[in-house]
Amino acid sequence: MKILVVGSGGREHALGWKLAQSPRVTGVYIAPGNGGTALQERLYNVDITDLNALADFAEQKNIAFTVVGPEAPLAAGIVNLFRSRSLKIFGPTREATRLESSKNFAKTLMKCYGIPTAEYKTFSDADLAHSYIQEKGAPIVIKADGLASGKGVIVAQTINEAHCAIEMMLSENKLGSAGACVIIEEYLHGEEASFIVMVDGKHVLALASSQDHKRLLDGDQGPNTGGMGAYSQAPIITPQLHTRVMHEIILPTVRAMEQEGIHYTGFLYAGLMIDPQGNPKTLEFNCRMGDPETQSIMARLKSDFASIIEHALTGTLDATTQPEWDQRTAVGVVLAAHQYPYSPRKGDYIYSIPAQTETLIIFHAGTAIVNGKLVTSGGRVLCVVGLANSVREAQLIAYEAINSIQFDGMQYRRDIGYRALHSGN
């Protein structure tokens, strides 16, 4: 069977790489893909991004099912469109994607159904928002309601920063309609983790846990990015905490959506904050897999991913056996382009990428092949994943491989996995 993966990042490379290993899969088309997917065996880039053209392609190529990587096509209704044309696709509908595309929707749902999350209030009037900030003090978190390409969350350490965020979103409309309504929420202390599951409308299958590193610089300093590296398993998600997250957050959210008349299908990613006492709260929902979490999660998945998705598509996730995971830890380090995350430079030649081995996998993101040469074409360029029995060894494998890779302006963090190391793994 043939499968279509929509997207062009490291996440989509990892999804395609894993799906192509299924014995029944003859080819995975990636639309539009990147320089790495173009070179990978049994992956084929398709230069299409228009949703109707993607549906035409799936029909013509007799695609068994489509998997969607990023949120934008989901929010634009790719699942609604494919379903209306009887094409199989794994992802949430436009309506279900509101869990990610409207923070106000997600917060209201969590509040109504008692799902743990930070205390908050929603504002569209700047004066009222400023008074609320004065009343609450700092630190405090300001979030644009809509999708804002990673620019919509400001963790304000001072009252002044918080007022500036309100000015930027509500008075100057710098984020357009995405920032016309803002959530002001309580600052939560603790450690973050990514909890990603698959949902078939009713049943839920949890994937391995992971932890992302969102800041650009070592020690979680510098600006927020899409993610500079991730590892899986996240030791903070103990079996007990896993059970709590399923029963207090994931299952109640799927049931709440059902009560609101929305059958949730697709990946569901809960960004969690675990407080020092070990209690989880939901920071946000994403309606997709994480990037770069997917690269570390897929590196550890031993089961046939295509079969799991087929179960999800037929509403029988409860009938699948639990996925089998490589017991090793995967540490994925992102290599980013010069000037990322502000205005990443494109077109730098990339040299000497090591071959895949039993302990090393390199996923491409912002890469392209121009005149037969591999060049940078986006902010996050590669994700180098090391696999080993300890976090320390997995780090060493990834960083040793990075030593041989070169492109001008390459930036990366030297401490991916440091939290897991501190927890003794």
Q: Does 105 bind ligand AMP (CB under 6 A)?
A: no
CB of 139 to ligand AMP, least distance (A): 8
State the CB neighbour count (10 A cutoff) for residue 273.
20
Instruction: Choose among ligand GLY, ligand AMP, none what residue 155 binds, the Cβ cut-off being 5 to 8 Å by kind.
Output: ligand AMP
Q: Which stretch binds ligand GLY (CB under 6 A): 119-127, 283-291, 323-331, 335-343?
A: 283-291
CB of 284 to ligand AMP, least distance (A): 3
72/396 with CB nearer ligand AMP: 72
Residue found by looking up tokens 């699948």 in the block:
320
CB 23 within 8 A of CB 305: no
Q: Which stretch binds ligand AMP (CB under 6 A): 1-9, 179-187, 299-307, 390-398?
A: 179-187
CB of 212 to ligand AMP, least distance (A): 8
Q: Does 69 bind ligand AMP (CB under 6 A)?
A: no
Any residues with CB less than 8 A from the CB of 204 and at least 6 apart, and which?
Answer: 197, 198, 246, 250, 251, 254, 268, 317
Q: Which of 188, 193, 262, 382 binds ligand AMP (CB under 6 A)?
A: 188
Q: Does 366 bind ligand GLY (CB under 6 A)?
A: no
Q: What is the identity of the amino acid at 227? A: G
Q: Does 38 bind ligand AMP (CB under 6 A)?
A: no
Q: Does 227 bind ligand GLY (CB under 6 A)?
A: yes
Q: Which of 36, 290, 323, 341 binds ligand GLY (CB under 6 A)?
A: 290
Residue 411, token pair as written in the block: 């930036």
Q: What angle do CA 132, 123, 191 make, to 5 degrees?
A: 75
Q: Which of 34, 93, 104, 286 binds ligand GLY (CB under 6 A)?
A: 286
Give Cα separations from 81 to 2, 98, 339 (angstroms): 20, 16, 37
Q: Which stretch binds ligand AMP (CB under 6 A): 19-27, 182-190, 226-234, 343-351?
A: 182-190
Using CB under 6 A, which residues numbered 203 to 232 contact ligand AMP? Answer: 214
Q: Does 101 bind ligand GLY (CB under 6 A)?
A: no
Q: Which residue's C-beta sits nearest to ligand AMP?
A: 284
Q: Does 12 bind ligand GLY (CB under 6 A)?
A: no
Residue found by looking up tokens 């056996």 in the block:
321
CB 406 within 8 A of CB 220: no
Instruction: Choose among ligand GLY, ligand AMP, none what residue 110 binds, the Cβ cut-off being 5 to 8 Å by kind.
Output: none
Give Cα separations from 104 to 48, 145, 181 (angstroms): 32, 6, 8
Pairing of strands 265-274, 280-286: antiparallel
> Taking the mean position of all CA atoms in its chain, how far away is CA 157?
25
Question: Helices in 20-86 by DSSP H: which ranges?
Answer: 35-39, 51-60, 71-75, 78-84
Beta bridge partners of 362: 384
Residue found by looking up tokens 């006492």 in the block:
277
Binding site for ligand GLY (CB under 6 A): 212, 227, 286, 290-291, 293
Binding site for ligand AMP (CB under 6 A): 118, 141, 143, 153, 155, 185-188, 192, 214, 271, 283-284
